[in-house]
Amino acid sequence: KAGVTQTPRYLIKTRGQQVTLSCSPISGHRSVSWYQQTPGQGLQFLFEYFSETQRNKGNFPGRFSGRQFSNSRSEMNVSTLELGDSALYLCASATGTGNNQPQHFGDGTRLSIL
């Protein structure tokens, strides 16, 4: 069974640009969550999508948005990039939401803002 796939693995952008990151969950998984990982703030929850609907959202500005498609694939978009958005963005998928099935993580997208 293929794992969670995130593309691209690395991305370099400049301030003010926007970026879209992609996540393909494990086959059969309907929940996709996004996390931001930085040395200073650690791992922080961005949002979760389940059945194409955003179920939960962390404490991030509106520049961070996402969506989920009917095949459960998810995209995350960040607009008007700032230097502080440099981070590893991790996607995790699970069979459902709020159950005891663990989230499985992808390798992440390393975003660098110049």
Partner 1 sequence: AQTVTQSQPEMSVQEAETVTLSCTYDTSESDYYLFWYKQPPSRQMILVIRQEAYKQQNATENRFSVNFQKAAKSFSLKISDSQLGDAAMYFCAYHSYNNNDMRFGAGTRLTVKP
Count of residues that interact with partner 1, criterion CB under 8 A:
26
Q: Report the site for partner 1 in 42-81 (rule: CB under 8 A).
A: 42-45, 48, 50, 55-56, 58
Query: Could you tell me if 67 and 74 are in contact, meaning their C-beta atoms sit under 8 angstroms apart?
Result: yes
Any bridge partners for residue 34, and if so which?
47, 91
- CB within 8 A of 9, min separation 6: which ones? 107, 108, 109, 110
19, 21, 23, 31: which one binds partner 1 (CB under 8 A): 31
Which of these, 20, 1, 25, lies nearest to 73 by C-alpha position?
25
Site string for partner 1, 75-114 (x = CB under 8 A): -------------x-x-x-x--xx-x-xxxxxxx------
Torsions phi, psi for 87 (to 5 deg): -175, 170
Give the residues lining the site for partner 1 (CB under 8 A): 31, 33, 35, 42-45, 48, 50, 55-56, 58, 88, 90, 92, 94, 97-98, 100, 102-108
